[in-house]
Amino acid sequence: MQYRTLGRTGVSVSSLVLGAMNFGTLGRTTQDDVSAIVDAALEGGINFIDTADMYSGGESEELVGKAIAGRRDDIVLATKVWGPMGEDRNHRGSSRRWIITELENSLRRLGVDHVDLYQVHRWDATTSDEETLSALTDLQRSGKIRYFGSSTFPAYRIVEAQWASRENHLGRYVTEQPSYSILQRRIESHVLPVAEEYGLGVLAWSPLASGWLSGAIREGKEVTTSRSTLMPQRFDTAIAANRAKLDAVEKLVVVADEAGLTLIELALGFVTAHPAVTSAIIGPRTLEHLTSQLAGADTVLSGDVLDAIDQIVAPGLDLAPDEKVDTPPALLDASLRRR
Protein backbone atom coordinates (compact mmCIF):
# COMPACT_ATOMS: atom_id res chain seq x y z
CA MET A 1 0.00 0.00 0.00
CA GLN A 2 1.20 3.49 -0.81
CA TYR A 3 0.55 6.38 1.58
CA ARG A 4 0.17 10.06 0.80
CA THR A 5 -0.41 13.24 2.78
CA LEU A 6 -4.02 14.41 2.63
CA GLY A 7 -3.64 17.87 1.09
CA ARG A 8 -1.78 20.08 3.54
CA THR A 9 -3.29 18.54 6.66
CA GLY A 10 -0.27 16.41 7.57
CA VAL A 11 -2.52 13.35 7.86
CA SER A 12 -1.11 10.24 6.17
CA VAL A 13 -3.70 8.22 4.26
CA SER A 14 -3.65 5.11 2.10
CA SER A 15 -3.75 5.51 -1.68
CA LEU A 16 -6.92 3.41 -1.67
CA VAL A 17 -9.92 4.46 0.43
CA LEU A 18 -12.61 1.99 1.45
CA GLY A 19 -15.86 3.48 0.20
CA ALA A 20 -19.01 2.34 1.97
CA MET A 21 -21.77 3.15 -0.53
CA ASN A 22 -22.45 -0.56 -1.07
CA PHE A 23 -22.80 -1.24 2.66
CA GLY A 24 -26.40 -1.94 3.58
CA THR A 25 -29.56 -2.28 1.53
CA LEU A 26 -28.13 -0.77 -1.66
CA GLY A 27 -25.38 -3.37 -1.92
CA ARG A 28 -27.34 -6.12 -0.18
CA THR A 29 -24.59 -6.46 2.43
CA THR A 30 -25.08 -7.56 6.04
CA GLN A 31 -23.14 -6.63 9.16
CA ASP A 32 -21.08 -9.81 8.82
CA ASP A 33 -20.25 -8.91 5.20
CA VAL A 34 -19.24 -5.37 6.13
CA SER A 35 -17.15 -6.43 9.12
CA ALA A 36 -15.29 -8.98 6.99
CA ILE A 37 -14.60 -6.38 4.28
CA VAL A 38 -13.44 -3.79 6.81
CA ASP A 39 -11.18 -6.35 8.53
CA ALA A 40 -9.59 -7.36 5.22
CA ALA A 41 -9.19 -3.75 4.09
CA LEU A 42 -7.40 -2.75 7.29
CA GLU A 43 -5.21 -5.84 7.09
CA GLY A 44 -4.39 -4.88 3.50
CA GLY A 45 -3.10 -1.48 4.60
CA ILE A 46 -6.14 0.76 4.06
CA ASN A 47 -6.48 3.28 6.88
CA PHE A 48 -9.22 5.49 5.44
CA ILE A 49 -12.99 4.74 5.31
CA ASP A 50 -15.47 7.01 3.51
CA THR A 51 -19.23 6.83 3.94
CA ALA A 52 -22.21 9.21 3.81
CA ASP A 53 -25.41 9.79 5.73
CA MET A 54 -27.61 9.09 2.70
CA TYR A 55 -26.05 5.69 1.84
CA SER A 56 -28.93 3.26 2.42
CA GLY A 57 -30.67 5.90 4.52
CA GLY A 58 -28.03 5.91 7.27
CA GLU A 59 -27.57 2.15 7.37
CA SER A 60 -24.07 2.35 5.90
CA GLU A 61 -22.90 4.56 8.77
CA GLU A 62 -24.39 2.18 11.32
CA LEU A 63 -22.66 -0.83 9.75
CA VAL A 64 -19.33 0.99 9.51
CA GLY A 65 -19.61 2.12 13.12
CA LYS A 66 -20.06 -1.43 14.38
CA ALA A 67 -17.28 -2.75 12.14
CA ILE A 68 -14.70 -0.27 13.47
CA ALA A 69 -15.71 -0.44 17.14
CA GLY A 70 -12.65 -0.69 19.36
CA ARG A 71 -10.20 0.58 16.74
CA ARG A 72 -11.57 4.01 15.88
CA ASP A 73 -8.27 5.79 16.49
CA ASP A 74 -6.49 3.70 13.86
CA ILE A 75 -8.83 4.86 11.10
CA VAL A 76 -9.26 8.13 9.22
CA LEU A 77 -13.05 8.30 9.13
CA ALA A 78 -15.03 10.42 6.67
CA THR A 79 -18.72 10.95 6.08
CA LYS A 80 -20.89 13.42 4.18
CA VAL A 81 -23.98 15.62 4.42
CA TRP A 82 -26.35 17.20 1.86
CA GLY A 83 -28.50 14.38 0.45
CA PRO A 84 -32.16 13.96 1.47
CA MET A 85 -32.73 12.08 4.72
CA GLY A 86 -36.49 11.73 4.68
CA GLU A 87 -39.44 13.64 3.28
CA ASP A 88 -39.03 16.85 5.27
CA ARG A 89 -37.82 19.58 2.91
CA ASN A 90 -35.28 20.83 5.47
CA HIS A 91 -33.75 17.41 6.10
CA ARG A 92 -31.23 17.94 3.31
CA GLY A 93 -28.89 20.54 1.90
CA SER A 94 -26.03 22.46 3.46
CA SER A 95 -27.71 25.05 5.68
CA ARG A 96 -26.36 25.62 9.19
CA ARG A 97 -29.63 24.24 10.56
CA TRP A 98 -29.26 20.92 8.76
CA ILE A 99 -25.47 20.47 8.93
CA ILE A 100 -25.36 20.77 12.72
CA THR A 101 -28.40 18.54 13.18
CA GLU A 102 -27.25 15.88 10.75
CA LEU A 103 -23.70 15.67 12.07
CA GLU A 104 -25.15 14.68 15.44
CA ASN A 105 -27.18 11.99 13.67
CA SER A 106 -24.09 10.71 11.83
CA LEU A 107 -22.03 10.60 15.04
CA ARG A 108 -24.81 8.61 16.70
CA ARG A 109 -25.06 6.14 13.82
CA LEU A 110 -21.28 5.74 13.64
CA GLY A 111 -20.95 5.41 17.41
CA VAL A 112 -18.12 7.97 17.59
CA ASP A 113 -17.60 11.40 19.10
CA HIS A 114 -15.97 12.95 16.02
CA VAL A 115 -15.25 12.35 12.35
CA ASP A 116 -11.93 13.17 10.76
CA LEU A 117 -13.35 14.54 7.51
CA TYR A 118 -16.87 15.92 7.05
CA GLN A 119 -17.78 16.56 3.42
CA VAL A 120 -20.53 18.51 1.69
CA HIS A 121 -21.77 15.85 -0.72
CA ARG A 122 -22.79 18.27 -3.50
CA TRP A 123 -22.86 21.99 -4.03
CA ASP A 124 -26.12 23.48 -2.77
CA ALA A 125 -27.12 26.38 -5.01
CA THR A 126 -29.69 27.59 -2.46
CA THR A 127 -27.18 28.13 0.35
CA SER A 128 -24.38 30.67 0.55
CA ASP A 129 -20.79 29.57 1.04
CA GLU A 130 -20.59 31.72 4.17
CA GLU A 131 -23.60 29.95 5.72
CA THR A 132 -22.13 26.50 5.12
CA LEU A 133 -18.54 27.31 5.99
CA SER A 134 -19.44 29.10 9.21
CA ALA A 135 -21.34 26.04 10.43
CA LEU A 136 -18.49 23.72 9.49
CA THR A 137 -15.97 26.02 11.17
CA ASP A 138 -17.96 26.00 14.40
CA LEU A 139 -18.15 22.20 14.33
CA GLN A 140 -14.41 22.02 13.75
CA ARG A 141 -13.71 24.34 16.66
CA SER A 142 -15.98 22.26 18.88
CA GLY A 143 -13.90 19.17 18.07
CA LYS A 144 -16.71 17.22 16.42
CA ILE A 145 -14.98 17.30 13.05
CA ARG A 146 -11.26 17.57 12.40
CA TYR A 147 -11.40 18.79 8.78
CA PHE A 148 -14.03 19.48 6.16
CA GLY A 149 -14.16 19.08 2.41
CA SER A 150 -16.33 19.26 -0.68
CA SER A 151 -17.54 16.55 -3.05
CA THR A 152 -18.21 16.86 -6.77
CA PHE A 153 -18.01 20.65 -6.79
CA PRO A 154 -17.44 22.37 -10.15
CA ALA A 155 -14.04 24.07 -10.29
CA TYR A 156 -15.48 27.57 -10.10
CA ARG A 157 -17.39 26.65 -6.92
CA ILE A 158 -14.20 25.30 -5.35
CA VAL A 159 -12.56 28.67 -6.02
CA GLU A 160 -15.57 30.62 -4.72
CA ALA A 161 -15.56 28.60 -1.50
CA GLN A 162 -11.85 29.21 -0.97
CA TRP A 163 -12.39 32.94 -1.42
CA ALA A 164 -15.39 32.92 0.95
CA SER A 165 -13.23 31.27 3.61
CA ARG A 166 -10.59 33.94 3.25
CA GLU A 167 -12.97 36.90 3.06
CA ASN A 168 -14.98 35.80 6.09
CA HIS A 169 -12.05 34.44 8.16
CA LEU A 170 -13.52 30.95 8.24
CA GLY A 171 -12.07 27.47 7.98
CA ARG A 172 -11.71 26.16 4.43
CA TYR A 173 -12.37 23.00 2.49
CA VAL A 174 -9.16 20.97 2.54
CA THR A 175 -10.31 18.16 0.22
CA GLU A 176 -12.37 17.66 -2.91
CA GLN A 177 -13.98 14.37 -3.90
CA PRO A 178 -14.60 14.25 -7.67
CA SER A 179 -15.52 11.46 -10.06
CA TYR A 180 -12.42 10.41 -12.01
CA SER A 181 -11.46 7.45 -14.17
CA ILE A 182 -9.85 6.61 -17.50
CA LEU A 183 -13.29 6.99 -19.11
CA GLN A 184 -14.12 10.30 -17.41
CA ARG A 185 -11.16 12.68 -17.59
CA ARG A 186 -12.72 16.13 -17.87
CA ILE A 187 -11.62 17.15 -14.37
CA GLU A 188 -8.02 17.08 -15.60
CA SER A 189 -8.71 20.37 -17.38
CA HIS A 190 -10.27 22.30 -14.49
CA VAL A 191 -10.92 20.62 -11.13
CA LEU A 192 -7.50 18.98 -10.68
CA PRO A 193 -5.49 22.13 -11.53
CA VAL A 194 -7.62 24.12 -9.07
CA ALA A 195 -7.13 21.46 -6.40
CA GLU A 196 -3.36 21.65 -6.90
CA GLU A 197 -3.42 25.45 -6.75
CA TYR A 198 -5.19 25.42 -3.37
CA GLY A 199 -3.38 22.40 -1.95
CA LEU A 200 -6.50 20.27 -1.65
CA GLY A 201 -6.40 16.56 -1.07
CA VAL A 202 -8.25 14.80 -3.91
CA LEU A 203 -10.24 11.63 -3.22
CA ALA A 204 -11.38 10.21 -6.55
CA TRP A 205 -14.66 8.32 -6.58
CA SER A 206 -15.73 5.78 -9.20
CA PRO A 207 -12.19 5.00 -10.44
CA LEU A 208 -13.65 1.87 -12.05
CA ALA A 209 -16.29 3.96 -13.86
CA SER A 210 -19.33 2.29 -12.26
CA GLY A 211 -17.95 -1.14 -13.14
CA TRP A 212 -16.97 -0.45 -16.75
CA LEU A 213 -13.30 -0.88 -15.80
CA SER A 214 -13.79 -3.90 -13.54
CA GLY A 215 -13.57 -6.46 -16.33
CA ALA A 216 -17.22 -7.41 -15.87
CA ILE A 217 -18.39 -5.44 -18.90
CA ARG A 218 -16.97 -6.80 -22.14
CA GLU A 219 -18.02 -7.27 -25.73
CA GLY A 220 -20.52 -10.13 -26.01
CA LYS A 221 -20.79 -10.53 -22.24
CA GLU A 222 -24.04 -10.05 -20.32
CA VAL A 223 -23.85 -7.09 -17.96
CA THR A 224 -24.56 -8.25 -14.40
CA THR A 225 -23.14 -5.47 -12.21
CA SER A 226 -25.32 -4.07 -9.43
CA ARG A 227 -25.20 -0.63 -11.06
CA SER A 228 -26.71 -2.01 -14.29
CA THR A 229 -29.90 -2.81 -12.37
CA LEU A 230 -30.12 0.67 -10.84
CA MET A 231 -29.15 2.60 -13.97
CA PRO A 232 -29.78 0.37 -17.01
CA GLN A 233 -29.49 3.28 -19.45
CA ARG A 234 -25.82 3.65 -18.54
CA PHE A 235 -25.06 0.13 -19.69
CA ASP A 236 -27.23 -0.22 -22.79
CA THR A 237 -24.70 -0.68 -25.58
CA ALA A 238 -27.29 0.37 -28.15
CA ILE A 239 -26.69 3.92 -26.87
CA ALA A 240 -23.80 5.57 -28.74
CA ALA A 241 -22.05 6.90 -25.62
CA ASN A 242 -22.07 3.45 -24.03
CA ARG A 243 -20.80 1.93 -27.26
CA ALA A 244 -17.87 4.36 -27.14
CA LYS A 245 -17.08 3.25 -23.59
CA LEU A 246 -17.22 -0.41 -24.53
CA ASP A 247 -14.90 0.16 -27.49
CA ALA A 248 -12.45 1.96 -25.19
CA VAL A 249 -12.63 -0.86 -22.64
CA GLU A 250 -11.70 -3.46 -25.25
CA LYS A 251 -8.64 -1.42 -26.23
CA LEU A 252 -7.68 -0.86 -22.59
CA VAL A 253 -7.80 -4.62 -21.94
CA VAL A 254 -5.08 -5.02 -24.57
CA VAL A 255 -2.95 -2.34 -22.88
CA ALA A 256 -3.40 -4.01 -19.49
CA ASP A 257 -2.54 -7.45 -20.87
CA GLU A 258 0.64 -6.15 -22.51
CA ALA A 259 1.64 -4.51 -19.22
CA GLY A 260 0.98 -7.70 -17.25
CA LEU A 261 -1.87 -6.10 -15.32
CA THR A 262 -5.55 -6.71 -14.76
CA LEU A 263 -7.93 -4.05 -16.05
CA ILE A 264 -8.67 -3.10 -12.42
CA GLU A 265 -4.98 -2.60 -11.68
CA LEU A 266 -4.62 -0.46 -14.81
CA ALA A 267 -7.64 1.65 -13.85
CA LEU A 268 -6.56 2.25 -10.24
CA GLY A 269 -2.94 2.82 -11.23
CA PHE A 270 -4.07 5.45 -13.74
CA VAL A 271 -6.10 7.42 -11.17
CA THR A 272 -3.45 7.37 -8.45
CA ALA A 273 -0.73 8.32 -10.96
CA HIS A 274 -2.07 11.86 -11.34
CA PRO A 275 -0.01 14.19 -9.12
CA ALA A 276 -3.12 15.99 -7.89
CA VAL A 277 -4.83 12.80 -6.68
CA THR A 278 -4.32 11.66 -3.11
CA SER A 279 -6.38 8.46 -3.11
CA ALA A 280 -8.84 6.44 -5.16
CA ILE A 281 -12.07 5.37 -3.45
CA ILE A 282 -12.99 1.73 -4.03
CA GLY A 283 -16.50 0.45 -3.26
CA PRO A 284 -16.38 -3.33 -2.90
CA ARG A 285 -19.59 -5.23 -2.28
CA THR A 286 -17.86 -8.56 -1.58
CA LEU A 287 -14.54 -9.80 -0.29
CA GLU A 288 -13.75 -10.97 -3.81
CA HIS A 289 -14.23 -7.43 -5.09
CA LEU A 290 -11.98 -6.07 -2.35
CA THR A 291 -9.21 -8.58 -3.08
CA SER A 292 -9.16 -7.74 -6.77
CA GLN A 293 -9.00 -4.02 -6.00
CA LEU A 294 -6.35 -4.25 -3.28
CA ALA A 295 -4.13 -5.81 -5.95
CA GLY A 296 -3.97 -2.35 -7.54
CA ALA A 297 -2.71 -0.62 -4.39
CA ASP A 298 0.94 -0.66 -5.43
CA THR A 299 0.48 -0.38 -9.20
CA VAL A 300 2.78 2.19 -10.78
CA LEU A 301 2.22 2.70 -14.49
CA SER A 302 5.13 3.42 -16.80
CA GLY A 303 5.16 6.41 -19.11
CA ASP A 304 4.59 4.14 -22.09
CA VAL A 305 1.45 2.67 -20.52
CA LEU A 306 0.10 6.12 -19.64
CA ASP A 307 0.79 7.27 -23.21
CA ALA A 308 -1.11 4.24 -24.53
CA ILE A 309 -4.10 5.15 -22.35
CA ASP A 310 -3.98 8.72 -23.69
CA GLN A 311 -4.24 7.36 -27.22
CA ILE A 312 -7.50 5.59 -26.31
CA VAL A 313 -9.10 8.30 -24.16
CA ALA A 314 -7.48 11.69 -24.64
CA PRO A 315 -6.55 13.85 -21.61
CA GLY A 316 -9.47 15.99 -20.47
CA LEU A 317 -12.05 13.93 -22.39
CA ASP A 318 -15.25 12.53 -20.89
CA LEU A 319 -16.92 9.56 -22.52
CA ALA A 320 -20.68 9.86 -21.80
CA PRO A 321 -20.37 13.44 -20.46
CA ASP A 322 -24.10 13.51 -19.66
CA GLU A 323 -23.38 11.24 -16.70
CA LYS A 324 -21.37 13.90 -14.91
CA VAL A 325 -22.94 15.34 -11.78
CA ASP A 326 -20.99 18.58 -11.43
CA THR A 327 -22.60 20.36 -14.40
CA PRO A 328 -23.61 23.98 -13.62
CA PRO A 329 -27.39 24.18 -13.13
CA ALA A 330 -27.76 26.76 -15.91
CA LEU A 331 -26.67 24.15 -18.46
CA LEU A 332 -29.43 21.79 -17.32
CA ASP A 333 -32.32 24.23 -16.80
CA ALA A 334 -33.20 26.60 -19.64
CA SER A 335 -34.99 28.97 -17.26
CA LEU A 336 -31.70 29.63 -15.49
CA ARG A 337 -30.00 30.51 -18.75
CA ARG A 338 -32.71 32.93 -19.81
CA ARG A 339 -33.90 34.56 -16.62
How many angstroms separate the Cα of 72 from the Cα of each of 48, 271, 282, 296, 300?
A: 11, 28, 20, 25, 30
Active site residue 55: yes
List the catalytic residue out of 55, 118, 173, 198: 55
The answer to whether residues 98 and 92 touch, using CB atoms and an 8 Å cutoff, is yes
d(CA 138, CA 136): 5
Say if residue 299 is exposed, middle or buried (CB neighbours under 10 Å; 0-12, 13-18, 19+): buried
With helix as H, strand as E and coil as C, how does the chain read? CCEEECCCCCCEEECEEEECCCCCCCCCCCHHHHHHHHHHHHHCCCCEEECCCCHHHHHHHHHHHHHCCCCHHHCEEEEEECCCCCCCCCCCCCCHHHHHHHHHHHHHHHCCCCEEEEEECCCCCCCCHHHHHHHHHHHHHCCCEEEEEEECCCHHHHHHHHHHHHHCCCCCCCEEECECECCECHHHHCHHHHHHHHCCEEEEECCCHHHCCCCCCCCCCCCCCHHHHHCHHHCCCCCHHHHHHHHHHHHHHHHHHHCCCCHHHHHHHHHHHCCCCCEEEECCCCHHHHHHHHCCCCCCCCHHHHHHHHHHCCCCCECCHHHCCCCCHHHCCHHHHCC
- Residues designated catalytic: 55
